[in-house]
Amino acid sequence: MNKIGIIINPKKPQARGTLRKLVNYLNKRRKSIILEKISARLVQRPRLGVKDNRAYQRCDLIIALGGDGTLLRAVRMLKGKEIPILGVNLGGLGFLTEVTLGELYKTLSDVLADRYRLEKRIGLEATLYRGRKRIATSTALNDCVITKGVLSRLIRLDAFIGKEYLTTYAADGLIISTSTGSTAHSLSAGGPIVHPGIPVIILTPICPHTLTNRPLIISGEEEIRIRIASSHPDVALTLDGQEVIKLKERDVIRIRKAPSKIGLIVPKRKSYYQVLRKKLKWGGITPLSSK
């Protein structure tokens, strides 16, 4: 791995010091580094700043320094390129950024020596149709969320799985998430936690009017079709909390598994269940001996 792209959240308190130390570490190992312009200015290395984010799509490794939002931004910048991403948490909850700042250099040393575990996660591809016209296509790692604005009136969403009608949701919105995104917005709306290695799609209604409309897990090979069935003036599709597309009555959103997977580097010394226990603060009770 010779060409390394670094994406950082410059608003984090330790961003400047962390980035400067990391750049020095990689320079000593004669690695080619690229940064966003704002990050290059932050550490007074303007030559490393790139004008076009497409430069990241030619890297061998991406390091995302920040939180889950920073990693999701990195995924969007790669636009489907299967480049390994190392997510480093600079504070906060961070389910995707599993590596702590204290673990960064040990983990990075293993990665550069080709000693690492790569998990390939499915993403979602959402395409918006207005009549017969295709308006937009975009991808998400965590979720595609259809929500209403500030008006309290419910929205109605006709949902189809493949060619079969499922139901009409009367709710504040609907979250369509991957198993990776099951610990994000879906979890806060009462959705299940699903191991990220299971390639499924989860439909989680937000405050449904009919209480029997519960979260539903379907195969990742299915296509979901959502039709906006109400004339609510302020409905939008949000992808990974990063991109917002305004919707109109009778718009149709087709959501399916993205054509390429996202490769996340995870520490060999951690399991997913360890991450759950730590992030969700489970435990406190010592398990009984198995003997």
Q: What is the CATH number of the domain that holds 36?
A: 3.40.50.10330
C-alpha 154, offset from chain centre: 27
pLDDT band at 290 (very low <50, low <70, confident <90, very high): low
Residue 143: active-site member: no
Task: State whether 237 and 179 are in the same domain.
Answer: yes
Mean pLDDT calculated for residue range 204-228: 95
Domain contains 46: yes
pLDDT recorded at residue 11: 87
| CATH number of the structural domain spanning residue 172 | 2.60.200.30
Neighbours of 156 (CB within 10 A): 17
User: Which of 105, 280, 112, 70 lies closest to 187 in space, CA to CA?
Assistant: 280
pLDDT recorded at residue 289: 60
Domain contains 151: yes
Task: State whether 253 and 131 are in the same domain.
Answer: yes
Among 60, 68, 114, 234, which one carries the catalytic annotation? 68
In the block, tokens 């410059």 appear at: 10
Task: State whether 172 and 89 are in the same domain.
Answer: no
DSSP 107: H
Domain contains 31: yes
pLDDT at 286 over 70: no
pTM over 0.85: yes
Domain contains 43: yes
Task: Summarize pLDDT for 55-79 with one digit per residue, the tens.
Answer: 999 999 999 999 999 999 999 999 8
The mean of the pLDDT values for the chain is: 92
Task: State whether 108 and 204 are in the same domain.
Answer: no
pLDDT recorded at residue 279: 83
Task: Summarize pLDDT for 263-277 with one digit per residue, the tens.
Answer: 999 877 778 888 888
Task: State whether 101 and 149 are in the same domain.
Answer: no
pLDDT band at 284 (very low <50, low <70, confident <90, very high): low
